[in-house]
Amino acid sequence: MRLRLLFSTIIMSLVLMLSMGNKNGRASSQNKGNTGAPGDEISLGQPKTCRNCHNQGPITASLAISVLDASNQPVTQYHPGQAYTASVKITATGTGLQGYGFQMIALKDAGNTDLDGFSDMNPNNYKIATISNGRTYAEHDNISSSNTFNVKWTAPAAGTGNITFYASGNGVNANGGTGGDGGALNSLKLTEFGTVATEEVEKLNLPVSITPNPVTGNTFLH
């Protein structure tokens, strides 16, 4: 009787672990980042993403990232300290599709350092998780029935410069494993409002002339 009870307990624990592994994000369940960002977990010399496991079909998926301002309009530049919504949308099709998952991080381009600007919003279908190396990710909280994850994000301080969002996601069949699922990844770069990248300045190549030449009295720049 005791042996049967012990066996049942072990089986239930294994089932729970498998279920948790399928429902929880990699940061919270495995202490790993798998967005495809520089510095994430490496597999075969490349950053590991959802596609390394969830890419066996028949479900196929694509992923889009957008950053929305207070008027719900997408932006390509951020204002330092301003609140935004970082949105990940997964488009998936295929037999057995039951739900969606994702993981996202925002990094400063200079040095690929974590900005840690995400915050939680309740109720929601995502959560915030920080792993042992100090990086903080937004990721799914259980299998989501919605294919869109809207994450609260606060832009960094002035002088941060260009930043990039990295995200990986999947459409899943909820069978307790990764077989039959589809994975995708993408990235989105934002520039800091009021700054111009060096390469953009070089592209301007504006001609300047001074009249009269030589200078006699008033001088005009053209």
Burial of 100 (0-12, 13-18, 19+ CB in 10 A): buried
What is the model's pLDDT at position 18? Answer: 37
- 3-state SS record for 80-114: CCCEEEEEEEEEEECCCCCEEEEEEEEEECCCCEE
- The pTM for the full model equals 0.78
What is the model's pLDDT at position 57? Answer: 79
Quick one: how far is CA 39 from the chain centroid?
A: 13
Report the C-alpha gap between 111 and 134 in whole angstroms. 15
Question: How are beta strands 182-192 and 77-78 bridged, if at all?
Answer: parallel
What is the model's pLDDT at position 196? Answer: 58
Can you give the pLDDT of all 222 residues of the chain as single tens digits?
Answer: 554 544 444 334 333 333 333 467 899 999 999 999 999 998 888 888 888 888 877 999 999 999 999 999 999 999 999 999 999 999 999 999 999 999 999 999 999 999 999 998 777 899 999 999 999 999 999 999 999 999 999 999 999 999 999 999 999 999 888 888 999 999 999 999 987 554 454 554 545 555 566 655 555 555
Map residue 75 onto helix, strand or coil: coil
